[in-house]
Structure 1
Amino acid sequence: MRHSNKFNLKHIMMLLFLVSATAIFESCKKAAEKTTEKMIEKSIGDKAKVDIDNEKVTIETEEGTFTTDATVHSWPDEAPEEVPEFAEGKVMSVSTQEMDDTKNWVVIFEEVPQTALQNYKKELEAKGFKINYTTVAGTGGHLAAEKGKLNVMVMVGDGNATVTIGSQP
């Protein structure tokens, strides 16, 4: 019986140690996030509000809001329906920017095939977008397209892609 109590006491002590270590780690992490937030706020201006939560950063200023989230790994739900989803590759992060009445999305991809740019160009044209220009060089290229108050810019190269969507009032 006595041996059993020591065994339980060891487990309890180990559990308390792990809980304490986790609490200290989280406390240090939050302190680092707050320090970084203050540094960004000072560099932008004291009227900026910065919120860092793990891999999500939100910056609010008088001009608008910028959010980037590396935990989002899918096409943004709030992107305009007229813009076809870029479905080739794996989403790495999504950023949004709201200023006045304009809204922009930047979606970053990896594992993108070389055919992605030409495939997406066809999808944009099928949705009624006017292709303003397309440049293809080596393993990459970029294009710009517009439809009404929507602008889409795509850059593809070396297995990566960035899709930028702009929506004006």
Structure 2
Amino acid sequence: MSSMNTEEKKYKKFITIVSIVIPLAVFGLFFVKIPNAEPLTFLPPIYASINGLTAVLLVASVVAIKKGNRKLHEQLNTTAIICSALFLVMYVAYHMTSDSTKFGGEGIIKYIYLFILLTHIVLSIIVIPFVLITFMRARLGKFPEHKKIAKITFPLWLYVAITGVVVYLMISPYYV
């Protein structure tokens, strides 16, 4: 087994830090409200759309690599990562300026919503290191390892992107 090179060690350290800091920061920022800030109520449909775009980019990325177009595959995945980062910034900005919206549905639909929301939240945390490790392995040219983890990363990330849209659509009638 070969030892890690310096570049890979730097990536792994970065991935570990980001994978811990992002969820903790997002959680912490739920308790921070910007005083007298104008609520950014226009953001939820935008960041839900970005989640939808991310899902489309991920599917297009898989199609591109299956057709042997590595460059397009890389561009689509890089764009998907940028979209996920933009989503995160908008999501945090919204929650720092606006009160959380409560789901108003009742009965079985409420339990379906809560299941989708809970799995979305948990997997959105879990997927962070997967996305970053998958990206790192491609950047380092470790394509067999990249392909192996990408088979796990893709469905997780796609699920998070799609359920982000579903959660928005289910809660959107209850935005004030």
Report TM bin, short chain.
Answer: under 0.3
User: TM-score scaled to structure 2, two decimals?
Assistant: 0.22
Higher strand fraction: Structure 1 or Structure 2? 1
User: TM-score scaled to structure 1, two decimals?
Assistant: 0.23
Higher helix fraction: Structure 1 or Structure 2? 2
Of structures 1 and 2, the one with the larger relative CO (CA 8 A, separation 6+) is: 2
